[in-house]
Amino acid sequence: MEYSRKLFPGYHLRGITNGVHPCRWACEFFRELFDRYVPGWANEPELLVRVDEVPHEEIWNAHLKAKKALLDHIAEKTGVIMDINVLTLGFARRATAYKRAAMLFSDPERLKEINRTGKLQLVFAGKAHPKDDAGKRVIKEIYNYMTGLRGEIEAVYLENYDLDLAARMVSGVDVWLNTPLPPMEASGTSGMKAACNGVINFSVLDGWWIEGCIEGVNGWAIGPHPMAPTGENERRRIEIKDLYNKMEYLIIPKFYHDRDG
């Protein structure tokens, strides 16, 4: 922002969060749903504030179609068979250190314990820049963690991440996970894309999620507010605890026992 003010002296500038084009990122099943219940949404996406008028059962059916499409794609590309009835978490974005993609695996034994209270499936994807060695190490680290979970938690890291795969994932998982290091997340547009498909967000409060999060309604926050006076180590401790506790005590019970609540 400071640099922008130098470029445009005399003008009042303020930061605006990036956005996404809902018509591009809503999958075919939700586009059809929105066309019926929110006519004109494609050209005026602000009309989607009326999405509450769409029957919940139809939203769920559209989601299941998108989820089946993703799981069929995973089976075709990897041979891994995932269960449409199991809570599926997704994480996909550029692989780089500040995205902290491996946070979910901070305590593998705790993750296994949570899985025993309600089954989990994990779908990850993402590429590192050719010169980003730290990002490449993150991918390898996640792959090793997933290998250690075999037999207990079904998990897959999908190759060749591109726009098509991104669209499949943001529409097909049940919960979209985002764990960046605050305040490094400029926007977090993948979470917006997931929201266009009725997918719940579970994210650190950074980027758009600071404004977009309605706790327990459209998702859940992980950890403290980015402006909270906590050191980096303490923040990470709180985030990891929050991540696991909300998965076990809020998200899993909601998915398996109180989906309409």
Does the residue 44 lie in any domain?
Answer: no
Least confident of 7-16, 51-60, 92-101, 132-141: 7-16
Nearest to 212 by CA among 172, 178, 247: 178
Does the residue 232 lie in any domain?
Answer: yes
Which residue is associated with the tokens 């894309």?
193
Nearest to 179 by CA among 249, 88, 93, 70: 93
Range of the domain at 225: 84-257
Do the beta carbons of residue 91 and residue 157 sit within 8 Å? no
Whether 261 shows a pLDDT value over 60: the answer reads: no
Q: What is the reported pTM?
A: 0.91
CATH number at residue 181: 3.40.50.2000
Question: What pLDDT is stored for residue 1 in this prediction?
Answer: 62
Q: How far apart are CA 39 and CA 48, in angstroms?
A: 9
Whether 160 shows a pLDDT value over 70: the answer reads: yes
How many independent structural domains does the chain possess?
A: 1
One-letter amino acid of 11: Y
Does the residue 162 lie in any domain?
Answer: yes
Q: Max alpha carbon distance in the chain (Å)? A: 62
Does the residue 157 lie in any domain?
Answer: yes
Question: What pLDDT is stored for residue 232 in this prediction?
Answer: 85
Does the residue 69 lie in any domain?
Answer: no
Question: What pLDDT is stored for residue 57 in this prediction?
Answer: 96
Does the residue 20 lie in any domain?
Answer: no
Nearest to 62 by CA among 46, 51, 78: 51
**Got the DSSP string for 21-59?**
-HHHHS-HHHHHHHHHHSTTTTT-GGGGGGGGGS-HHHH
Q: What is the dihedral of CA 49, 54, 248, 123, to 10 degrees?
A: -90
Does the residue 171 lie in any domain?
Answer: yes
Strands (DSSP E) contained in 53-150 are 87-92, 120-125
Q: How far apart are CA 53 and CA 64, in angstroms?
A: 19
> Which of helix, strand or coil describes residue 87?
strand
Does the residue 241 lie in any domain?
Answer: yes
Residues 82-139 have pLDDT tens digits of 999 999 999 999 999 999 999 999 999 999 999 999 999 999 999 999 999 999 999 9
Nearest to 24 by CA among 160, 123, 171: 171
Residues 221-256 have pLDDT tens digits of 999 988 888 888 899 999 999 999 999 999 999 999
